Chains A and B, each alone.
Chain A
């Protein structure tokens, strides 16, 4: 969800663009307006009942502890209006209803931008877009577009940014029978995530810059990207504020881990070979920061599938790792017993947070069945092994949860486009 002001700005841009077109004669080959949409009806079951699998950090509850079978992990519905007033100018407005950070299904604006073709090969967009930080981020919610129930969480939860408000430019460069698409984006993001006790925490990204080169040659495509952003995340501030009460030593610990306008850089490569009958695809991405709690994470996956008529069985292996972190915390010597107890508690909370950094791998098998036009049914089984001492990619962790365990997930989804 975005603050109202930026949503207004996006809508204002769109309205402006729609106005601008009235004067022009429309191209008879392209309809002035087109409406389309996509959706997923999904359900997920987890073998772990002491924590939730939510798929993304932005959902408050999921399969496992909250519900044995949860429909809110993958289910969503989206509608889009595209306007094509002139061959050069177009605009899109896409609204999605899905489980929000507060558990509601209130629709939000995912895309709202104006697209201008400077030349047939140079495109500029302004407004709200999805940050193309990974190979599939722009279409990760369009279940029909992907072979699996969802892109592997080991990679797709690394950069938990969705829409951003800003601008980008794309250069299409033919190179023989191949082509490059160079893209540069700049912008900013405000996101809300579920907080303790039903509240919310905010994350801000400023100065997002992403550079991408997407290469295509026949059935082969590859993509390289680098990016940076300055991130602010409030979630852990209460812990760090408590540390600050312990004088300079506490202050030092707080400033080491506080995520406040902290520079993060990310890089990734991905490639797909899809001659039609079968496909292989894989991706690797890494996040770095001087703030060791925020950076030092990477993930990759490799997936393949084989198409037999309308059935596409697939298998995926995905893995994410993070630098091991622990901190001696506040020195306890010389503190009065009561205060020493509080300090030890804070040290334990800090180390639990640091240890909570994710390291896990998942082996998946599944099948996509294109049983009728514009609809696909998918079944997927995931076995996740969590590294010892790590919580894994779960939330709503209960006292009975064991670190470093194994979780089996079963997902079924019906994806459609219209």
Chain B
């Protein structure tokens, strides 16, 4: 798998990746960049492309690039962070996300991610569930989570 090499890179590298991602988000500067994808601070972490993160949350991909199982966790329907996340990353309004899941559910292709009510609950789930990935408003970040470095890979990149 393409991501396997990335996974073996040093701890320093993904710290660096996170820093670059954080910097990129700051440079973008728009209000909608306040929501970031997060995993447990203890999770091994490789940078993901935006498409890979979107595919995991939309049920199109069930694994990370290194082959481990991905467990996406949503914030509750109607929460600002959730709407921002999908509109910023996937270009989808809440209705478009529902339309997407109706296509998946009613063809037997999958069920939407489990939901948690609050950012605090999300952080507990991330810590307890191997492979879990969620998203949070930057203001809710703390030492229990790490930001997923997101980068756009050029087409066909190794």
Interface, chain A (partner B; CB < 8 A): 29-31, 34, 36, 38, 78, 80, 82, 84, 90, 92, 94, 111, 113, 115, 120-121, 125, 129-130, 138-139, 142, 144-145, 172, 174, 176-179, 216-219, 274-277, 307, 310, 370, 373-374, 376, 417
Contact = CB atoms under 8 A, between A and B. Distances in A.
A340 B94 CA distance: 68
B47 to A, nearest CB: 12
A176 B107 contact: no
Contacts of A178: 51, 155
22 contacts: A29-B71, A29-B114, A29-B129, A38-B106, A80-B105, A80-B106, A120-B63, A121-B62, A138-B107, A139-B106, A174-B2, A176-B2, A176-B153, A177-B49, A177-B153, A179-B55, A179-B61, A275-B91, A276-B87, A276-B93, A370-B93, A373-B78
B91 A144 contact: no
A218 B69 contact: no
A217 B107 CA distance: 21
Interface string B18-54: 0000000000000000000000000000000111100
B111 interface: yes
A142 B109 CA distance: 14
A219 B96 CA distance: 13
B91 A277 contact: yes
Contacts of B76: none
Given A276-B92, A277-B91, A310-B95, A142 B102 contact: yes
Contacts of A218: 50-51
B98 A373 contact: yes
B2 to A, nearest CB: 7
Contacts, number: 99
A130 B95 contact: no
Contact of B108 (A38, A121, A125, A172): A125
B51 A177 contact: yes
The 6 closest A-B pairs by CB, nearest first: A276-B91, A370-B95, A92-B108, A177-B51, A138-B107, A120-B62
A78 B105 CA distance: 12
Interface residues of B, number: 40
A177 B155 contact: yes
A373 B65 CA distance: 34
Contacts of A130: 107
Nearest to B157: A176
Given A29-B114, A218-B51, A276 B96 contact: yes
Interface string B103-123: 101111001001000000000
A251 to B, nearest CB: 45
B89 to A, nearest CB: 10
A373 B94 CA distance: 8
Given A29-B129, A179-B55, A307-B93, A115 B108 contact: yes
A139 B106 CA distance: 7
B77 interface: yes
B99 interface: yes
Most chain B beta carbons < 10 A, residue from A113, A125, A129, A144: A144
Most chain A beta carbons < 10 A, residue from B95, B129, B155: B95
A174 B52 CA distance: 10
Contacts of B61: 172, 174, 179
A139 B102 CA distance: 9
B60 interface: yes
Contact of B155 (A90, A176, A274): A176
B6 interface: no
A113 B95 contact: no
Nearest to B62: A120
Given A30-B111, A174-B1, 11 more contacts: A82-B105, A120-B62, A142-B102, A145-B106, A179-B55, A276-B87, A276-B90, A277-B91, A370-B95, A373-B77, A374-B98
A145 B62 contact: no
A390 B155 CA distance: 48
A130 B156 CA distance: 34
Contacts of B52: 177
A90 B62 contact: no
Contacts of B65: 174
Contacts of A92: 108
A276 B95 CA distance: 11
